[in-house]
Structure 1
Amino acid sequence: MTQAAYGIGIYSAPEAARMVGMGAQTLRRWLLGYDHGRKGEPLRHEQPLWNPQYDPEESEGVLLGFRDLVEARIVNALRSKRIGLQTIRICMERAREIIGQDRPFSTSQFKTDGKNIFLEITRDLDEPQLIDLKRKQGVFRRVVEPSLADLEFGPDGAERWWLLHGKRTIVADPERSFGQPIIAEHGITTARIAEAVKAEGSIESVSKLYEIKPRLIRDALAYQSQLGLRQAA
């Protein structure tokens, strides 16, 4: 974590992938680009979907900032509906032109006016899945909007992500603990809480040790369990 810049957050590709719920190798391909082609034909190089907040040439491995995490979450939501990567690439390029930022999906403008922006950037695209979703009352409302639901935005863009849907107890905040998942009220990482419960043998013991309400410890354990399920999937 020595490369972490204050207020940006820092995540390895495997950490970010677990939080988003996707494969680390796929995430690396989105951030670094990749070569592909049919056997016997020259390879074609695909550029990164966006430039990560940490320069890969200066980092020890692929590192993401908090804004990268949010971009990945929305792109992954689109991919989960089998919308093609090239279509998503075109959408991101058009959104950059409208919003004027390299990571358009994690901006406050996209949060406040995302429906209209998305209608504009998907105009004339003939992606079958995208057309189907439009007929069913909109890709933005059904796919993108849920990915924005637990995010808080400031003037410049996404600032924190509440990690348990509908609760304000577990958060990823780039200005706290390098953006690692923490109990919001106490600033202790959920990973540390899980280790403490394992070592002490009970939630009650850790509650007394750290002076944290048992329900917050349960929420920390619930989030850690979510991460474990995603890793196993």
Structure 2
Amino acid sequence: MNPEEIQSIEPALGTGIYTVPDVAQILRLPLTRVRRWLDEFWNGRLSATTKISYSWGKGRERVVNFQTLIEFYVFFKLRELGISTPKILQAHEVSSRLLQTPFPFASSFLLTDSKTLFVEIGNEILITADARLQYEIKEVMEGFCRKIEFDADKLASKFWPLGKDRSVVIDPQRQLGQPTVQGTNILAETLHRLHLGGEDTPTIAQLYGLTQTQVEEALFFVNRPVQ
């Protein structure tokens, strides 16, 4: 494959800008795992199908967009279900062509109808008519979709990592997509740093015009354990 055929996705306002450490922090995944996935899978095998590079920049300065972050999460959840990496990658390649998007794992067509679509594209790829696994995939994807808002192009556009009933949101339209308190531009990390500096929850809430619950949820988000 000619490297010149691969187009790079450059960072832009409104698409989210995430370094590899950002992705690891937001999804609570080991940094080495995220880096390996990006190099071996997205910028390796998958780019051969989609003809794009999923990152921009070099070394520690490499960044990915919001849809790639969502795809990493879906990949992780499928691996948790015991589906092999080769089968997941093959499903990505097939569904990318079927849905005509380089981000099929961030598409509502796949995520909201995962049972049907995964069976159709994966009868000999992802799963083999295993009713238990089909059910588990459906349950995981439906649960994930309840944390996502989709845009007019049926791609994920916002992500509530703790659920929509909690205040932390990943919105590419705010603060370059870094985790914020919903409805504000206040970074969860800003509140976390104040807390580390010795400020208590009521004081932080008063300083930023937030409720104590909003502050507590932001602190919980930043401090939750690595999966």
Question: What TM-score comes out, normalization by structure 1 length?
Answer: 0.80
Amino acid at match of 2:29: M
Distance 2:121 2:95 in 1: 6
Measured after TM superposition, the shift of residue 219 of structure 1 is 1.1
Q: Contact 2:81–2:136 at 8 Å: present in 1 too?
A: no
Gaps of 5+ in 1: 35-45
- Closer/same/farther in 2, CA of residues 68 and 19 from structure 1, 3 Å limit: same
Q: Secondary structure, in 3 states, of the residue corresponding to 1:159?
A: strand
Q: Contact 1:78–1:144 at 8 Å: present in 2 too?
A: no
- For structure 1, which segment, 70-79 or 134-143, has the greater mean C-alpha deviation from structure 2 after superposition? 134-143
- Closer/same/farther in 2, CA of residues 9 and 52 from structure 1, 3 Å limit: farther
Match of 1:43 in 2: none
Amino acid at match of 2:207: L
Match of 1:192 in 2: 190
Match of 1:152 in 2: 149
Question: What TM-score comes out, normalization by structure 2 length?
Answer: 0.82
Q: Secondary structure, in 3 states, of the residue corresponding to 1:186?
A: coil
Distance 1:22 1:198 in 2: 22
**Residue 211 (structure 1) aligned to one of 209, 219, 223:** 209
**Residue 26 (structure 2) aligned to one of 19, 23, 29:** 19
Q: Deviations over 1:58-113 (max 9, x none)?
A: x7543121100100000111111221111111101110121001111112322443
User: 5 Å matches for 1:37-186?
Assistant: 47-50=44-47, 51-56=52-57, 61-125=61-125, 130-131=127-128, 134-156=131-153, 157-186=155-184
Q: Contact 1:77–1:147 at 8 Å: present in 2 too?
A: no
- Closer/same/farther in 2, CA of residues 195 and 48 from structure 1, 3 Å limit: same
Q: Contact 2:27–2:73 at 8 Å: present in 1 too?
A: yes
Amino acid at match of 1:5: A
Gaps of 5+ in 2: 1-9
Match of 1:220 in 2: 218
Alignment root-mean-square deviation, CA: 2.5
- Closer/same/farther in 2, CA of residues 124 and 29 from structure 1, 3 Å limit: same
Distance 1:137 1:26 in 2: 26
Match of 2:16 in 1: 9
Measured after TM superposition, the shift of residue 56 of structure 1 is 4.5
